[in-house]
Structure 1
């Protein structure tokens, strides 16, 4: 019996939970579904305060998603210097930045047509 793929909504929920576990900051979800020629349905963007925290966020996302949904990222890039780590879950791509790198690349600005949801954190 084929493993049922987790719904995209469940995946987004678990990724956010993984980010919040280790106090990832400035979490935003960009909904790309109504934009033509996009590579995925959602970007989830957040940042950490250091390469140590960036790696902790990436590890927490992996652990949370794996435990809840038995899913793994298809590809992870940027772990070595941990300034910008990209996690590709096919329909959802997660960008974990250090703040200055996030400000420099301004993905939110580049994808200004996307509907954006900001996740309010209480820490």
Structure 2
């Protein structure tokens, strides 16, 4: 815990500083949600195909990034909201796309199910 996944349109791959984002996200998660640094784990999953509205996907005018943070239960709604706002701000800082692609970024913090186990 926390389990973090970052799904993103691969079209922004070159513009996405994943190393810097992960480090900053782990620091924010420790500070805001009282996680342990060694417990922070992030997986990046590029999507080869992104569809947006009625746009022809071949135009690649839009890109999507969605970050999901799974935390053990017990954080307040205020803590979760503060963390999602921090995630969005970090995405702004770590994605520098100069190609004119419209970026759609979102984040959510969810409680891990009580059945969650790790080794």
TM-score relative to the length of structure 1: 0.38
TM-score relative to the length of structure 2: 0.38
Question: Which structure carries more relative contact order (alpha carbon 8 Å, separation 6+)?
Answer: 2
- Mark the structure with the bigger radius of gyration: 2
